[in-house]
Structure 1
Amino acid sequence: MNEEFLNTLSSIVGTATPLVIASLGETITERAGVVNLSLDGSLALAAVLGFAAAWTAQEAGVLDAPMQIALGIAVAMLVGALIATLVGFSSIKLRRDQVAVGFVLTLLAAELARFLGADFTRIPGPQIKRFAIPLLEDIPILGTIFFEQNLLVYFSYILMFGIWFWLFRARGGLTLRAIGERPEAAYARGAQVQRLRYWYTFFGGALVGLAGAAYSLNVKPGWSSPPAMQGDGWIALAIVIFGGWHPFRVVLGAYLFAALRAVASYIQTNGLFIFGQEINFPFVLLNTLPWLLMIVTLLIVSGGLTERLLQYMPRAVQRRLRAFLRSDPPKALGTRFEME
């Protein structure tokens, strides 16, 4: 296969990683019944503070390169976790509307990120290095695409399977799904609903913070204005819906959006030729193309078109695809739970 094409696919996997991690974090949070709309601002603030911490350690010379990266990641995860905890505290303890609180926090965090990031614009800093995994890198095609990446990409693979196992194969995952579907029944069986919602919101927020670090320490090292990840928090929320709150479909959605973004970037750089004629696309349309295509895909998957297509398939295939494409949200998503 063409080496340039393989490198492009490898790049898509790398650039999709922040979306993968953020979407998986939100999946866990929403499975617990909490909606965290602060993703967009959390990504930006975690990215700038994570980069600032790593860059400061580099300039001070107090840590070696791997520890500089580790510090940046730790700070970013803490930022994401704290913002998510504010959403959880406002909803669980103060009984405020999750959507309103999350929306206000995302605006506040985004503006704070722009203010704090002004001093770090276009400053080179620490960057997560790529390395190949022995033996796995020798697998034809897949080795180049998936196993010549960096540590965060490899972590995203483990995270995807880990969350799937926890949700559908572990007793703790059964409790997690219960508090998002029927918290009253879970409480009656002894589950500490509020405590678990706090924990999963904190954990999901930490993953969102990690995704922010993946931007500023990996995808586009450094800080830019406007931030490179602007709007990706909203895309992550859409991907969770597209993925039906299932980790495998969520990851597929993140890769799909990254591929659409790569196509738009390619057209912007090289132009689009159909039958030898160049088609001129407005710059603004090219920038919005991935968003528009993602919306169309979401409508197709979640709408009636998919059901009509399934009618032409064998029954066994229909059952499997319906189970995979099922996209019902957790029944208690966004609702408060009050202990009697």
Structure 2
Amino acid sequence: MNQLWIDIAAVLAAASPLVIAAMGETISERAGVINLSLDGTMLLAAMTGFAVAVTTQNVLLGFVAAALIGALVAVVLGVFSITLGQSQTAVGFVLALLCTDLSSFLGAPFVRLPGPAVPFMPIPGLADLPVVGTLFFRHDPVIYASFLLIPATAYLLYATRVGLIVRALGERPAAVYARGVDVQRWRYAMLILGGVLVGIAGAAFSLDLKQGWSYRHTFGSGWIVLAIVIFGGWRPLRVALGCYLFAALEILATRSQSALPDIPAQLVQVAPFVLMILVLALVNLASSPLILRRVATLPDVWQRPLLAVIGRLRATAPAALGQPFERP
């Protein structure tokens, strides 16, 4: 049983960069802006954070530099998509490619170098508690921050006036503009906040989870975060659940590789991505009108539980997501 709790704690730790990035993307998409540059931003931030930390021997400065990279990329995306009204998808995709190549080019001198890392910091007293201590209080500051960020994001979006404005920006920006809210300024603010969290997530890889820097160190993680935000229905708690699910699939795939040596390593490595795509397909299927019509024809004994499950799985994107806003 102790091994089970240790494994669950490992999943919680492995998911921490994904959680941080996913909370940032959830905030920006709730405001109506898709940051498709995530994968490249995380790579460039991971490289920058590690390079600064190695040069200064200061992990905190590494995270600050990574956060600034995330904010800078978000500003560039905002200038083209929010101010100039260009396609958020196209601009974000180009930025993803640009940042990916920049991380490979600029990070070449730092490949495989040893460097500082986030220190292990169990919380005195709480770390010795049975089960709970193993799960939540025997980690490092980055993982603790990922735990706190989930309820903080949910509180921001659902229990504050700021959250009400942010959600309205993604649903009916014209309505909040009519009430005196500067839509573009607020979207910039939420996009930059999300970018800062994405940058920190990149540094969390190179300075904590996968210490060091190598070619395309976090490659694919940004795309997974985008998929998880969809899977989570743009709701922080469900998005976090998707992050932990993917981390569990990755750990399971890694361990099965040694248990099943006949299976090609490449197949094991891509298995979590395939399973995540299947989960996304299931979520989208739950939103299909055809499925709802079929369920409506079933007897009540089947219809009610199925509708309850569909209600949990359905994910409706913010109505104005990806749409530029022009002042009347």
User: Does TM, scored on the shorter chain, surpass 0.5?
Assistant: yes
Name the CA distance, whole Å, in 1 between partners of 2:186 and 2:164: 12
1:12 Cα deviation (Å)?
Answer: 1.6
1:226 Cα deviation (Å)?
Answer: 3.5
Name the CA distance, whole Å, in 2 between partners of 1:69 and 1:297: 36
Check conservation: 2:112, 2:214, Cα contact below 8 A.
yes
3-state DSSP of counterpart to 2:15 = helix
The answer on 1:339 being equivalent to 2:311 is: no
Corresponding residue number in structure 2 for 1:65: none
Corresponding residue number in structure 2 for 1:97: 87
Residues 282-314 of structure 1 show CA distances to partners (whole Å, capped at 9, x for unaligned) of 2221111000111111222332399769x7679
The answer on 1:2 being equivalent to 2:12 is: no
**Total equivalences in the alignment:** 320
The answer on 1:237 being equivalent to 2:226 is: yes
Corresponding residue number in structure 1 for 2:202: 212
1:318 Cα deviation (Å)?
Answer: 5.8
Check conservation: 2:32, 2:320, Cα contact below 8 A.
yes
Name the CA distance, whole Å, in 2 between partners of 1:296 and 1:132: 37
3-state DSSP of counterpart to 1:288 = helix
2:134 corresponds to which of 141, 144, 166 = 144
Name the CA distance, whole Å, in 1 between partners of 2:258 and 2:107: 28
Name the amino acid aligned to 2:265.
F
Matches within 5 A, 1:29-108: 29-58=28-57, 68-108=58-98
Check conservation: 2:286, 2:314, Cα contact below 8 A.
no
Name the CA distance, whole Å, in 2 between partners of 1:11 and 1:85: 35
Q: 1:282 to 1:329 in 2, by over 3 A?
A: same
Name the amino acid aligned to 1:8.
D
1:172 Cα deviation (Å)?
Answer: 1.1
Name the CA distance, whole Å, in 2 between partners of 1:150 and 1:312: 48
Name the CA distance, whole Å, in 2 between partners of 1:21 and 1:235: 13
Corresponding residue number in structure 2 for 1:193: 183
Q: 1:187 to 1:316 in 2, by over 3 A?
A: farther
| Higher mean C-alpha deviation, range 5-14 or range 145-154 | 5-14
Residues 90-119 of structure 1 show CA distances to partners (whole Å, capped at 9, x for unaligned) of 111111111110000000000000111111
Name the CA distance, whole Å, in 2 between partners of 1:211 and 1:312: 45
What value does the CA root-mean-square deviation take over the aligned residues?
A: 2.1
Unaligned stretches of 5+ residues in structure 1: 59-67, 273-279
Check conservation: 2:286, 2:310, Cα contact below 8 A.
no
Corresponding residue number in structure 1 for 2:282: 300
TM-score scaled by structure 2?
0.92
Name the CA distance, whole Å, in 2 between partners of 1:19 and 1:226: 16
The answer on 1:20 being equivalent to 2:9 is: no
Residues 261-286 of structure 1 show CA distances to partners (whole Å, capped at 9, x for unaligned) of 111100112327xxxxxxx3222211
| Higher mean C-alpha deviation, range 100-109 or range 133-142 | 133-142
The answer on 1:259 being equivalent to 2:248 is: yes
3-state DSSP of counterpart to 2:317 = coil
Runs of 4+ in 1 over 4 A off after TM superposition: 305-309, 311-319, 321-324
2:104 corresponds to which of 76, 96, 114 = 114
Name the CA distance, whole Å, in 2 between partners of 1:51 and 1:237: 24
| Higher mean C-alpha deviation, range 251-260 or range 11-20 | 11-20
Q: 1:49 to 1:329 in 2, by over 3 A?
A: same
Name the CA distance, whole Å, in 1 between partners of 2:122 and 2:311: 35
TM-score scaled by structure 1?
0.89
The answer on 1:325 being equivalent to 2:307 is: no
Q: 1:301 to 1:140 in 2, by over 3 A?
A: farther
Residues 173-198 of structure 1 show CA distances to partners (whole Å, capped at 9, x for unaligned) of 01110011000001011111110000
Name the amino acid aligned to 1:231.
G
Name the CA distance, whole Å, in 1 between partners of 2:196 and 2:302: 42
Residues 37-62 of structure 1 show CA distances to partners (whole Å, capped at 9, x for unaligned) of 0000000000000111011012xxxx
Name the CA distance, whole Å, in 2 between partners of 1:113 and 1:13: 27
Name the amino acid aligned to 1:35.
I
Name the amino acid aligned to 1:218.
D
Name the CA distance, whole Å, in 2 between partners of 1:326 and 1:124: 45
Unaligned stretches of 5+ residues in structure 2: none
